Structure 1
Amino acid sequence: MASIFSRIVTGEIPSHKIAETDDYLAFLDVMPTAVGHTLVIPKKEVDYIFDLDDDLYTGLMAFAKKIAPAIEKAVPCKRIGVAVVGLEVPHAHVHLIPLNSMADMNFHNKLKLSQEELAATAEKIRSFL
């Protein structure tokens, strides 16, 4: 069965896209720990990040590196945190999270943002790419 992220890639589930290439997709987390919390994924469904082949892995990180400065410009923060947890969705992904304190990296504290707030945040981040 396709992961929720694969279903986002195919358009079956809508998302607030930040950027996309043939191999990678960045979109806002709908249950963010901070405003601007972005997920970066390879379009190819691989469960565990360290099972990605070397080219896909390094490409994923290079793609994330291009997205992070746009988030940092769009969302006031001290820096962009990076996390790879890999337990919640069986599809390799990188979390890019605007940080003002360590509490912003707490995955147990989720913000409830409206679709309008998410759309406005995504548009603002895209404007800096």
Structure 2
Amino acid sequence: MTIFSKIISGEIPSYKILENDKFFAFLDINPLVEGHVLVIPKTEVDKLYDLDDTYLSEMLVFAKPLCHALESAMNCVRVGLSVIGLEVPHAHLHLLPINEMDDTNFTRKKLQFSPEEMQEIQRKIISAINEQSK
């Protein structure tokens, strides 16, 4: 069982942003940028491209409103999507609020936020999602 499966089950706490029956989105605790969100399938598979075509396309559709909410909540130029997959053997998609190319540089030092700051980021994103659905 991967760390992401433990997050999905609630065994490990997370800053959940959005969830449905197939996917789970939460704040990365080692973010590149403020508002860095991970989207994971609830099915445990190592590589994103090993998901069947329907599941993979549904994952992108699940991420779409998150991207719009991130643009609004994080006041960024756009949201970059990245698939790396080296740290955790569970398929995942990085959603990165970006203003410049270096915001997607995974070799740079990760940011540190207090639990209170993470909760505030979480609240801002969830609020933006709720505003979209009105």
Whole-angstrom CA distance in 1 between matches of 2:56 and 2:126? 23
Gapped regions of structure 1 (runs ≥ 5): none
Any idea what the Cα deviations from partners look like across 1:65-97, whole Å, max 9, x if unmatched?
A: 121000111002111001001111100000000
Higher share of residues assigned helix: 2
Whole-angstrom CA distance in 1 between matches of 2:115 and 2:59? 27
Whole-angstrom CA distance in 2 between matches of 1:8 and 1:38? 14
Question: Number of residues paired by the alignment?
Answer: 128
What's the % identity of the aligned pairs? Answer: 52
Any idea what the Cα deviations from partners look like across 1:22-65, whole Å, max 9, x if unmatched?
A: 11011000000000000001111100111101121111111111
TM-score norm. by structure 1 comes to 0.96
Gapped regions of structure 2 (runs ≥ 5): 130-134
TM-score norm. by structure 2 comes to 0.93
**Ranges of 4+ aligned residues in structure 1 off by more than 6 Å:** none
1:75 aligns with 2:74: yes
Offset of residue 128 of structure 1: 1.2
Partner in structure 1 of residue 85 of structure 2: 86
Report the aligned-residue RMSD. 0.8
Whole-angstrom CA distance in 1 between matches of 2:113 and 2:5? 23
Whole-angstrom CA distance in 2 between matches of 1:80 and 1:123? 18
Partner in structure 2 of residue 99 of structure 1: 98
Whole-angstrom CA distance in 1 between matches of 2:41 and 2:73? 23
